[in-house]
Amino acid sequence: MRIEFLDAPQSPAPRFIAQLAASDAMPAGLEAVLVEGARAARFTGKAGQIHEGFVERGSQLVRVALAGVGEANGAAKDAGRSGSLERAGAALAARYLASGETALTVDLAGSGLTGADCAALLLGLRLRCWRHDAYRTKLPEDQKVTLASVHVVNAPAGSQAEWAREAALAEGVEFTRELVTEPGNVIYPESFVARCEARLAGKGLELRVLGEDAMRTLGMGALMGVSQGSPRPPRLLAIVWNGGEPGAKPMAFVGKGVTFDSGGISLKPPAGMEDMKWDMGGAGAVAGAMLALAGRKARANVIGICGLVENMPDGSAQRPGDVVTSMSGQTIEIINTDAEGRLVLCDALTWVQKEFAPSAIVDLATLTGAMIAALGNEYAGVFANDEGLAETLIAAGKTSGDKLWRFPLGAPYDKLIDSPIADMKNAGPRNGGAITAAQFLLRFIAKGTPWAHLDIAGMVWADKAGATWEKGATGYGVRLIDRYVRDNCEN
């Protein structure tokens, strides 16, 4: 989607214009036929509401879309206000993306918006425009995307600078959605790395890739045990952004990247297994966030780590009852080969601590079905060994819209993963499954290192469209990471 700021509407006058309407307050100077039509249609300017009509302006018939933005006087920095504006932009995209219109002029004259408000409106519009039609060869004409450009006129001061930052964020979200949406025969560990290398090139990022030999030398028996049943070799990808003070400790984000999860020998039920292409949603979020941070030149040092494997059940696959040795030296009894994400993460967490000594670590993973049972698709769960880190992550979630809900950790849960023959087992009882998974990861965090685990299992994929996404990949996690870095890591 191409978004441009113009000093004035293009000549000849645009034939398709969008204007904003606050709750029960129509734009000044709006034609009576549009005002009366909106009233008849019960349009009240509620956030995300759309009304359209046709009027004659000059000698041209103009299609006018009124987009509701909710309360007129919301504070510019208020998350609710930004969310309302995003919904307004997203509603325009949803309504007109495949409408036959190729260009939309958004006229902000008299809207009372700030530059940040304008950017929020455009962010919602662009995010809702994203679709993945690469494999749809017989799409009906009336379902094909036609809207290609948006022209913004009468924008408030500072809008272009604000939008430049949000455009970088949008690019990161779109990249994550792309990675999560691609099928498992297209995105696997090697191709995930190749896609990142191509997309992140020229952004000022450093990419480091560990292959099987390097991981074997480092002793990553937990991660490699997951991958041994697949012909696709594992990879560990590190994405480094040094935008902060030279020598300052980086913030680290670690993503689970199981590019397809069959469950291994502990095979998943066939129904719905196709969804397991998105079991790399944590790694996808980390990659997209690193693209966003580099795109807006974040003034912070940040490391993104993606642990990439495919979990398959061939004759070489690890078995329930096997014991593996992690990079940390701790041994793990494999109880369930479908509890594989924590095995990938534990070695990735050990490596990032030894290699980069980060100031804090946050991991993101589609880790447990238990988290979906607990929170559905409204929140991701957050577990942390540091109160300050937990609080700032939850605050970033509220502001960004990638919401988090706090869960406990503690000794009664930790003892549930003790093993009679190894240091620990990779799965506890069914009850409290999301918590025991987090307790497992905590065993690999060095004392004194702030750490948080985000179980995002219910958030990376949606069975129905949301305010700013179509059915499918949501891009969850990118905005959360970006907001956390903005609020807590940049100087």
Paired tokens of 130:
């994203």
| CATH topology identical between 2-155 and 168-488 | no
Residue spans of the domains in the chain: they are 2-155, 168-488
Which residue is associated with the tokens 């325009």?
92
Quick one: 2-155 is in which CATH superfamily?
Leucine Aminopeptidase, subunit E, domain 1 (3.40.220.10)
Q: What is the pLDDT of residue 76?
A: 41
For residue 73, name the pLDDT band (cuts at 50, 70, 90). low
The pLDDT of residue 75 is above 60 = no
| Contact (CB, 8 A) for 33 and 53 | yes
DSSP state of 417: G
pLDDT digits (tens, 9 = 90+) for 416-456: 999 999 999 999 999 999 999 999 999 999 999 999 999 99
With both helix axes pointing from N to C terminus, report the angle between 433-442 and 341-356 in degrees, rounded to the nearest 10: 30
Cβ burial of 199 (10 Å; 0-12, 13-18, 19+) is: middle
Nearest Cα neighbor of 375 from 408, 405, 413 is: 405
Residue of 431, 429, 381 whose CA lies nearest to 407:
381
* Res. 119: pLDDT tops 60: yes
pLDDT digits (tens, 9 = 90+) for 181-238: 999 999 999 999 999 999 999 999 999 999 999 999 999 999 999 999 999 999 999 9
- Name the amino acid, one letter, at 130: W
CA distance linking residue 462 with residue 124, whole number of Å: 17
**What pLDDT, on the 0 to 100 scale, is given for residue 147?**
97
Tell me whether residue 403 is one of the annotated catalytic residues.
no
Catalytic residue from among 195, 199, 203, 268 = 268
| Distance set, CA 273 to CA 182, 184, 262 (Å) | 15, 11, 7
Reduced DSSP (H G I as helix, E B as strand, rest coil) percent helix, strand, coil of the chain, to 5: 35, 20, 40
**Radius of gyration (Cα) for the chain, nearest Å?**
24
Catalytic residue at 203? no
Q: Choosing from 342, 425, 479, 483, which is the catalytic residue?
A: 342
Amino acid occupying residue 399:
T
Question: What is the mean predicted confidence (pLDDT) over 239-266?
Answer: 98
CATH of the domain spanning 168-488: 3.40.630.10
Q: What is the C-alpha end-to-end distance of the chain, expressed in Å?
A: 32
10 Å Cβ neighbour count for 179? 29
Angstrom distance (rounded) from CA 91 to CA 83: 12
Helix or strand run (H / E) with residue 83:
helix 79-96
pLDDT at 34 over 60: yes
- Please answer whether residues 120 and 166 qualify as being in contact, where contact means their C-beta atoms are separated by less than 8 angstroms: yes
- In the prediction, which pLDDT does 77 show? 44
From the CB of residue 258, how many other CB atoms can be counted at a distance below 10 Å?
30
- For residue range 94-113, list pLDDT tens digits in order: 999 999 999 999 999 999 99
- Residue 386 DSSP SS3: coil
- pLDDT band for 74, please (50, 70, 90 cuts): low
Cβ atoms of 224 and 308 closer than 8 Å: no
**Helices (H), strands (E): how many in the chain?**
14, 19
The answer to whether 27 and 20 have CB atoms below 8 angstroms apart is yes
